[in-house]
Amino acid sequence: MSNLKSAYLENAYELLSPLQDREVCSTFLVKEKSTGTLAVKKQLTFEQYELYQILKEYPHPNLSRIFETYMLDGHYYALTEYVSGKTIAQTIQQGSLFSREGTLSYILQLCNVLSFLHKKGIIHRDITPGNIVISTDHIVKLIDFGIARFKKPNQPQDTVLLGTAGFAPPEQFGFGQTDERSDIYSLGVLLNYMLTGKLPAEQISSDTAFSGIILRCTQIDPKNRFSSIEELQSALRHCQIKYPACPSAAKTYRPFRRLLTLLPGFHKKKPLHILCSILGYLLLIILTVSSLDLTLPFGSETASYWMILIFLFYVPFGIFGNIGNYEAHIKNFSNWPAIYRILLKCALFLFSFSILFLYVLVWEVIL
């Protein structure tokens, strides 16, 4: 019966694309053939398989729902909910810091789910901005249990040393055994990152409501951190009462910096991209100025002039330059094959050109 179920599940979903930027990928976006429902398929180790079976039996609102777990040909798999939303990493990369109120709400939600996991003996070990999705209805979803493990209190250190540099505590790199306080360390780093866009080693948040909590969470010696998630929750709720408002932490980047992140060439803050975009802007300015005395054979001179500039130069520049970072708002755009991404941009360009062509055609008919 188990083999029949496994074979059915393997054939019930269509593979769409990998969800990790690596050659060997164990996580894929899939679609249920009968309903079109999106899901995530993960290939697991045996220990992860046991962990996912527990999470399937005991669901939590801040975890992606686990539809099925199964074994096939000696390999272990899980089918989980696909969460629609942005990761914290994507939000920061797009130029926005989190408000004080938003940060507190999301961190407290993470505390709730970590408390749940820790009571089941599960240590996540990878609390990072890329592993936390904020859904469209502002619910935090903790994803990716790729390096999660069950607590093993009698071991002097972890047998497998894994973690994300900057967010993982020292004990995950061979300096001790991971436990609940390891997740507390990562949560403290995340708290600081949401407020400042930087790691604590680079800049501690100036928000007095949080700076002390961040420092205690990120102590090198686990004994000096909060002893449990519940203790951290209590401290966060206390600072919520003691410091009801903190303008310095509630703001995002300055408006000018926010505007820059929307302009083509400035999204990823890469020097070469910025240089090329500046040259592009200069070219557009030169084209605009040099066309002021242009005599056109159709339409109103002023209207035609701006129609040409907008639909033949400005709009294509925005399309191919990813103006407003619109690519980030197209679901799974980064996972599309390169040819599809190019074809979409070419289609948008042709649509822009067709508007200009239609304008010229209308004026020809009128005249």
Q: Looking at residue 155, what is its pLDDT?
A: 53
Structural domain spans, the chain: 2-81, 85-250, 261-366
| Band of pLDDT at residue 250, cut at 50, 70 and 90 | very low
- Looking at 3.30.200.20, 1.20.120.420, 3.30.479.30, 1.10.760.10, the CATH number of the domain 2-81 comes to 3.30.200.20
Q: Considering the entire predicted model, what is its pTM?
A: 0.63
Give dist(CA 328, CA 245) in Å, integer.
32
Q: Looking at residue 1, what is its pLDDT?
A: 47
Neighbours of 209 (CB within 10 A): 22
Q: Is there a contact between 78 and 41 (Cβ–Cβ < 8 Å)?
A: yes
Give dist(CA 289, CA 313) in Å, integer.
13
Q: Of 222, 127, 143, 147, whose CA–CA distance to 181 is shortest?
A: 222
Q: Looking at residue 265, what is its pLDDT?
A: 62
Share of the chain above pLDDT 90, in %: 31
pLDDT exceeds cutoff 60 at 42? yes
Tokens of 83: 């969460």
Give dist(CA 366, CA 162) in Å, integer.
70
Amino acid at 34: S
- Mean pLDDT on 203-210: 87
| Band of pLDDT at residue 148, cut at 50, 70 and 90 | confident
Count CA within 13 A, CB hemisphere, residue 353. 8
Q: Which fold has domain 85-250?
A: Transferase(Phosphotransferase); domain 1 (1.10.510)
Distances (CA, A) of 74 to 42, 71, 196: 14, 6, 45
- Mean pLDDT on 78-90: 90
